[in-house]
Amino acid sequence: MTARAVRMHLPRGRGRMTRSFGTLLGVVTLLLGLGLMMVLSASSIDSYNSSRDFFGQFSKQAFIAVLAWPGMIVLSRMPQRTLRRVATPAYLVTLAMQAIVVTTGLGSSGGGNRNWLSIGGFTLQPSEFIKLTMVVWLARVMGEEPERLVDPRFFFRRVFLGVAGAVLLVALGHDMGTAVVIVLIAFGCWLVGRVPMRFLGLIGVVGGVLAAFGVLLSANRLSRVASWASAGDCTDYMGTCWQTTHGTWALAAGGVLGVGLGNSKSKWAWLPEAENDFIFAIIGEELGLIGAIVVILLYVALAVLLVRLIGRRAADPFDQIVLAGALVWVVGQAFINIAVVLGFLPVLGVPLPLVSYGGSSLLATMLMLGVVLGVADRDRPPVAVVGAGLASGGRSGASQRRPRPAAGRATGTRGGGTASATRLGRARDASGATRVGAGAVRASARGTVTVRGGRR
Is 13 domain-assigned? no
Domain end (from 378, 403, 423): 378
Residue-wise DSSP of 52-69: S-TTHHHHHHHHHHHHHH
Residue type at 65 in one-letter notation = A
Same domain for 257 and 361, yes or no, is: yes
Is 6 domain-assigned? no
pLDDT of residue 395: 43
CA 127/CA 101 separation, integer angstroms: 10
Residue-wise DSSP of 150-190: GSHHHIIIIIIHHHHHHHHHHHHTT-HHHHHHHHHHHHHHH
Q: Which contiguous run of DSSP H or E holds residue 211?
A: helix 197-216
Same domain for 438 and 312, yes or no, is: no
Question: What average pLDDT values come out for the chain (456 residues) when binned by 10 residues?
Answer: 37 64 95 97 92 91 96 94 96 96 86 81 91 97 92 94 95 91 97 95 94 84 81 71 90 95 93 94 97 98 96 90 97 96 91 95 97 90 51 42 45 42 40 42 42 38
Q: Provide the Cα torsion 370, 372, 377, 382; round to 10°.
A: 170
Number of H helices, E strands in the chain: 16, 8
Is 2 domain-assigned? no
Same domain for 60 and 114, yes or no, is: yes
Is 410 domain-assigned? yes
CA 408/CA 165 separation, integer angstroms: 60
Same domain for 328 and 406, yes or no, is: no
Same domain for 219 and 359, yes or no, is: yes
Is 1 domain-assigned? no
For the chain, the domain total comes to 2
Domain end (from 343, 378, 413): 378
pLDDT of residue 421: 39
Quote the domain boundaries for residue 355.
19-378
Is 11 domain-assigned? no
Is 63 domain-assigned? yes
Domain end (from 363, 378, 393): 378
Same domain for 359 and 404, yes or no, is: no
In this prediction the pTM is 0.80
Please give the C-alpha separations between residue 399 and each of 128, 439, 451, in angstroms, as whole numbers: 57, 19, 17
Same domain for 197 and 320, yes or no, is: yes
What are the start-end ranges of the E strands in 259-392?
383-384
Same domain for 186 and 325, yes or no, is: yes
